[in-house]
Amino acid sequence: MSSRIFYALQQVTVGGTVLSGVQSVGASSTTNIENFSRFGSIGAYTLLQDLDLEITIENALGDGWTNTLGAIGFSNISTSIDTPVSVVIEYLTEDNFTKTVSLSAILSSYSIQMGVDGPATESVTFQNSGNAVFTDGTDGTALGTPSGGVCSVITRPSFSGFSTSLSTTACDASPTWAAEVTRDHVLSVSASMDIGTEKVNVLGRSLSFGKYVTFPIETSMEVETHLDPSSDTDGNTADDSMGGFNSGTKSGNSLEDEVYHTLIALPGNYYGMSAARLTGVSRSGGDVGGGQVSISESYSSVNDLFYQTTSPAANITSDNFPSA
């Protein structure tokens, strides 16, 4: 076996589940210090505070694979998002013998992205929970088996779609939702959530007693589409095939109170928001060199992202659309 560590790194497990499409792994440790100075001296004494540890993972998505959210049991933000899980990086040092580096950690950021090149991927960051630190270990057992085969990786031809449903009565007791609009000629989709964390420190300890998620959690979703002037790309006949320019609807001197159900549909992986605002529309391309015109729409919300492995598309025009 080659001694290069590229080949030696065998797998990453999250909560005991082997991730099937890991592309890269990074780990970092930062010692937090504070300088103490006093009058009459130009010197300073450094005071140790605690450690911030992180593991970052980029993992390809596949139909039937267990991704990171599935491995931690995430379905929506109301679930126990700050429950620690064990993240283990495993290296093969010789036949049937591995060394491991593990960390008890909580999720601190998550995003998925898919474009016309390469596979759909998720980018994940875990932070140490409480006073957890990296620990080394050995394991003489066989390596775990990833779910699904490599042919199940999600690439451009297997993209299922991006769709929205609009409501201007979301605050009513019985809101109504417009017909589902599916974007044509999609160039890229993405979704993300930025999870803030707070340390709990107590007297008599240098390391944190605990680390917990802070709310609200900002979530976002974006879709970029190619503008085809021969067809209506956004379902709004008022703009007659040229795509939207405004990110809101004017009503007198005010904006309409509009919210959206949004859904990214990938085989075996569905990401949605149930009360998103359209916060931005931008257009690019169409230069003298013949570049294509594309339209990017940005949606944002708080505490509003769900994930599941079966399609909720039939309910996207209903108030029963999965709650985030």
- Is residue 39, in this structure, part of any structural domain at all? no
Helix/strand/coil for 253: coil
Cα-Cα-Cα-Cα dihedral sign, residues 267, 269, 273, 277: negative
- Is residue 323, in this structure, part of any structural domain at all? no
- Is residue 321, in this structure, part of any structural domain at all? no
With contact defined as beta carbons under 8 Å apart, do 68 and 122 qualify? yes
- Is residue 282, in this structure, part of any structural domain at all? yes
Query: CB 37: neighbour CB atoms within 10 A?
Result: 10
- Is residue 240, in this structure, part of any structural domain at all? yes
Q: Which two tokens stand for residue 110?
A: 């998550």
Strand partners, 189: 114, 223
- Is residue 322, in this structure, part of any structural domain at all? no
pLDDT tens, residue order, the chain (324 aa): 456 666 678 889 999 999 999 999 999 999 988 899 999 989 888 888 888 999 999 999 999 999 999 999 999 987 778 899 999 999 887 777 788 899 999 999 999 999 999 999 999 999 999 889 999 987 656 677 777 788 899 999 999 999 999 999 888 888 899 999 999 899 999 999 999 988 898 888 888 888 889 999 999 999 999 887 665 545 554 444 677 788 777 778 877 889 999 999 999 999 999 989 999 999 888 788 878 889 999 999 999 999 999 988 778 988 888 865
Helices (H), the chain: 5-8, 68-71
Domain that holds residue 105: 5-34+45-143+153-315
With contact defined as beta carbons under 8 Å apart, do 43 and 55 qualify? no
- Is residue 324, in this structure, part of any structural domain at all? no
Residue type, 306: F
- Is residue 148, in this structure, part of any structural domain at all? no
Residue 142, exposed/middle/buried by CB under 10 A (0-12, 13-18, 19+)? Answer: exposed
Count of the separate structural domains present in the chain:
1
Tell me if the pTM is above 0.95.
no
Query: CB 256: neighbour CB atoms within 10 A?
Result: 11
